Amino acid sequence: MVSKKALHGTALTLTALGLAPGAAHVMELPVKLGYPPEMYAQVTSTLYMWYGIAGGSVQVAALFTVVFLAYRTRHLPAGRLAAVAAASLLASLLVWGFVVSPVNSAWAEVAGSSSSEFVSAYSRLRSRWEFGHVAAFIGWLTGWFGLVAAVRNTP
């Protein structure tokens, strides 16, 4: 059986690490929106490969850990907080999946296209991609705060 301290520590650590990709997107947003379309397309198409591989793996692991914590503490008032935290983390991943991921797919389709088609696709979809990341980050941050409250209120 996993100890309470180990479960809390793992959930807090994974969820905190899961904040990093979204926080980076939020901090980059004002600068990147000022880029000319050609530069935006070049930067965005080359910079984020590891975000999905590392960040996505950490976020999925965090979600499973917080769901397990919510299950383990379901009989306590803190269990409700953990369940809300898990729901917020899941909502964040769903926002990413339904808002951001389709943009990634659309951009991947034009990756080998002419320069004008490539830049046009990036220009057309960049607001959805950028603000989708902001929405996903807000969901993840909400989950983080819920998890902290759950851990603090667990006897």
- Give residue 55's pLDDT: 93
- Give residue 106's pLDDT: 94
- 123/117 Cα distance (integer angstroms): 10
Which amino acid makes up residue 31?
V
Whole-model pTM: value is 0.94
How does pLDDT run across 56-84, given as a tens digit for each residue?
999 999 999 999 999 999 999 999 999 99
- Give residue 1's pLDDT: 79
- Give residue 111's pLDDT: 86
Residues of the chain with pLDDT under 70: none
- Give residue 49's pLDDT: 84
- Give residue 36's pLDDT: 94
DSSP symbols for 80-93: HHHHHHHHHHHHHH
Structure-block tokens of residue 140: 């993840």
- Give residue 72's pLDDT: 95
- Give residue 152's pLDDT: 96
Domain boundary assignment for the chain? 4-152
